[in-house]
Chain A
Amino acid sequence: MEDDGGSLKILIADDNETDRMILHAIVKKQGHAVVTASDGVEAVERFIEEQPELILLDALMPNMDGFEAARRIKELAGEDLVPIIFLTSLKDAESLAKCLEAGGDDFLSKPYNRIILQAKINAFSRMRNMHLTMQKQRDQIALHNEHLLHEQETAKAVFDNVAHSGCLDSPNIKYLLSPLAVFNGDVLLAARKPSGGMHVLLGDYTGHGLPAAIGAMPMAEIFYALTSKGFTIEEIIKEINAKLKAILPTGVFCCACMVDMEFREREMKVWIGGLPTCFLYRSGTGERVEIASNHLPLGVLSGDQFKVKMQVFEVSEGDRVYMWSDGIHEARNDQDVMFGEERLIDVFDRCTSPESLFDDINVAVEEYLGEAERDDDITLVEVRIPNEREIEELPEETIDISDKGPMDWHLDYRLNPLSLKYFNPLPFVLQLITEVPGLRRCSGQVYTILAELYSNALEHGVLGLDSELKKNPQGFSEYYDLRAKRLEGLDLGFVNFKLNHIPTETGGALTVLISDSGEGFDFQSKLDDGSDKQYCGRGIPLISTLCRSVTYKGCGNEVEAVFEWHYTQTGS
């Protein structure tokens, strides 16, 4: 008979010399190496010295019987499979059971039958090989798993460095996010805008593990870099989409929702593609506004097909916006039924205090899941419109101050129709201004001044839009539609920046003169009127508090703001 397990080293332990001789002869004839022992003590010693791969063990032996020897050998073998075949003429069930209890794997009764013995040795040899393969594969899997975990830790550390936590810890944000969420494909980013507002982005990548996490890194990098440089939500979402489209393989994309909050202007813009409907909860009235996805996820469409159209909302202090990945909706109870949107709506309907809504949602999901196994991929975020005092106290991004840079300079920069249509000059201009050493700490204030004056020049001056429109919610979207339409059709007009910076003893003075091609307005009569109404729409009171002076010139299509800063001045 062919030996299919190769040659083994076999220990034969029997106190009968003739039995030992016979077994030795049979086993050797089958091509195996033989080690012998004449009692249990010797058997254990031989096992330690020779590391045999299979053992033929007599049950009844002097000094130490086979049962005890089997127990010791199995203990020494640990997780290695060393099959023990008991040699016995015992026939009663109790004795045979005792053999198995001691760790025996099979029996061979006397007189020995060499055919049966050979079959048994072969069978155990196969089993042993399988066991070895399994052990090897198990060790390999364990090694791979360890490797994978290590890689994930490294990847997570890199991601955390890229994504840091932004301003997720701001007092107006509550969120639920698993520490390893990035490997579930969930990403949550929040950052302060130079203007003082906030960008929050929730992304849910298709898939799990590293493939799901890989897109999160460039996404976070773009989000933070562009937000801090003053880019708009439209520009950021467009840039992220283009990047993801370029790097992600087909079938991998990112369902996302990004909100842009302008706290002082009480305005919120939302871009949502592929995520479950978000809710805007109006604390004053208890009204729940649904913000449904109206775009494809990020990374699906190429740049020319991609739409950045925003949903715009007027918001009030204390209003809250809720975003979530599908983890909540798809959380299953022990009956395998999903939580679903209706139960979520129910939580809002039953809400008595907006303060506790976030916790109410968590409790509802928790109670619903009960004993069911948790997937741990529930991501939920609540962003509240803070009050004035809180806005002042929100932490600013800390920025390095370089020592050398341009202190005395002048810039004349004119944007003609094509540039006005397709280009946002603010990041570029802000970048330039913040090259002034020390002025970077005031970038928020400078941005606010630039943004207000530029949008006044463009929207009221060049495009001739009436700020009265924005006084009610319907007017809001009408205003933005009209803005887009007029900008699209623009073929005449300009906005001109004249910037001048001079050093002073304690810091510097920045003069911003912005003029536009519009008709201007009768600022003089408004001033005589003693009313700030007209200015209100133009955000001038806010700018006036930041600047030494704000002066309208010409026919009202020219405005000059002088901003003074000091080295000792803090960020806010």
Chain B
Amino acid sequence: MTDLQHLDLEALEELRDVMEDEFQSLIETFIVDAERKLVAFQAAISGANADEVGKVSHSFKGSCSNIGAPLLSALCKKSEDKGRENDLSGVDVIFDDICNEYQIVKKLLTEQLS
């Protein structure tokens, strides 16, 4: 897992190229959306709702991969699998990892904007 990057700069460059003026808006939207998803994630774990854990993980995984955050995406894949297997043991640990990794990605992304 450690060989995956926090941020794929190459992919990010491409995004910048595609989005042009909207690049900043995209990053901001990602951050707002990510935080909303993490809240929903937390609620799903508290409610022991494996199905919801799987769905939120799947959705977050998709946007992480598109924004160029491969490690975060891979962590989401782990919790998605757990949710699908209806086995929430250890999901709280994965969730902590996701939150930590998100903070790193958020910091790096914000740096990209300045």
Contacts of A306 in B (CB 8 A): none
Chain A 88-117, CB-CB to B under 8 Å as 1, else 0, gives 010000000000000000000011101000
Closest to A26 in B: B18
Interfacial residues, chain B to chain A (CB-CB below 8 A): 11, 14-15, 18-20, 22, 25-26, 29-30, 33, 55, 58-59, 61-63, 65-68
Contacts of A16 in B (CB 8 A): 33, 59, 62-63, 66
- Would you list which residues of chain A between 11 and 35 have a CB under 8 Å from chain B? 15-19, 21-22, 25-26, 29
Q: Is the interface of B mostly helix, strand, loop or mixed?
A: helix
Known: A60-B58, A111-B11, A112-B66. A22 touches B29 (CB 8 A): no
Interfacial residues, chain A to chain B (CB-CB below 8 A): 15-19, 21-22, 25-26, 29, 60, 89, 110-112, 114
Known: A17-B29, A18-B33. A29 touches B18 (CB 8 A): yes
Known: A111-B11, A112-B66. A22 touches B18 (CB 8 A): yes
Nearest-CB distance from A294 to chain B (Å)?
Answer: 87
Known: A22-B26, A25-B18. A89 touches B61 (CB 8 A): yes
Contacts of A112 in B (CB 8 A): 66
Question: How many angstroms between the C-alpha atoms of A26 and B15 in the bound complex?
Answer: 9
Contacts of A25 in B (CB 8 A): 18-20, 22
Question: How many angstroms between the C-alpha atoms of A60 and B30 in the bound complex?
Answer: 19
Question: How many angstroms between the C-alpha atoms of A29 and B14 in the bound complex?
Answer: 13
Question: How many angstroms between the C-alpha atoms of A60 and B57 in the bound complex?
Answer: 12
Question: How many angstroms between the C-alpha atoms of A111 and B11 in the bound complex?
Answer: 9
Nearest-CB distance from A80 to chain B (Å)?
Answer: 30
Closest to A22 in B: B66
Closest to A90 in B: B58
Nearest-CB distance from B54 to chain A (Å)?
Answer: 10
What are the 7 A-B residue pairs with the smallest beta carbon separation, nearest first? A111-B65, A16-B63, A111-B66, A18-B30, A18-B63, A110-B62, A110-B65
Q: Which of A19, A110, A111 has the most CB of B within 10 A?
A: A111
Nearest-CB distance from B35 to chain A (Å)?
Answer: 13
Closest to A113 in B: B14
Known: A89-B65, A110-B65, A111-B66. A22 touches B19 (CB 8 A): yes
Known: A16-B33, A22-B26, A60-B55. A110 touches B66 (CB 8 A): yes
Known: A60-B55, A111-B11, A111-B68. A19 touches B19 (CB 8 A): no
| Contacts A/B (CB < 8 Å), 28 sampled | A15-B59, A16-B62, A16-B63, A17-B29, A17-B33, A18-B29, A18-B30, A18-B63, A19-B62, A21-B19, A21-B25, A21-B26, A22-B18, A22-B19, A22-B66, A29-B18, A60-B55, A60-B59, A89-B65, A110-B62, A110-B66, A111-B11, A111-B65, A111-B66, A111-B68, A112-B66, A114-B14, A114-B18
Closest to A88 in B: B62
Question: How many angstroms between the C-alpha atoms of A64 and B61 in the bound complex?
Answer: 20
Nearest-CB distance from B40 to chain A (Å)?
Answer: 11
Question: How many angstroms between the C-alpha atoms of A245 and B49 in the bound complex?
Answer: 92
Contacts of A111 in B (CB 8 A): 11, 65-66, 68
Question: How many angstroms between the C-alpha atoms of A19 and B65 in the bound complex?
Answer: 10
Nearest-CB distance from B53 to chain A (Å)?
Answer: 14
Closest to A16 in B: B63
Contacts of B20 in A (CB 8 A): 25
Q: Which of B18, B20, B61 has the most CB of A within 10 A?
A: B18
Given A22-B26, A26-B18, A89-B62, 12 further pairs, Cβ under 8 A:
A16-B62, A16-B66, A18-B30, A18-B66, A22-B66, A25-B19, A25-B22, A60-B58, A89-B61, A110-B65, A111-B11, A111-B65
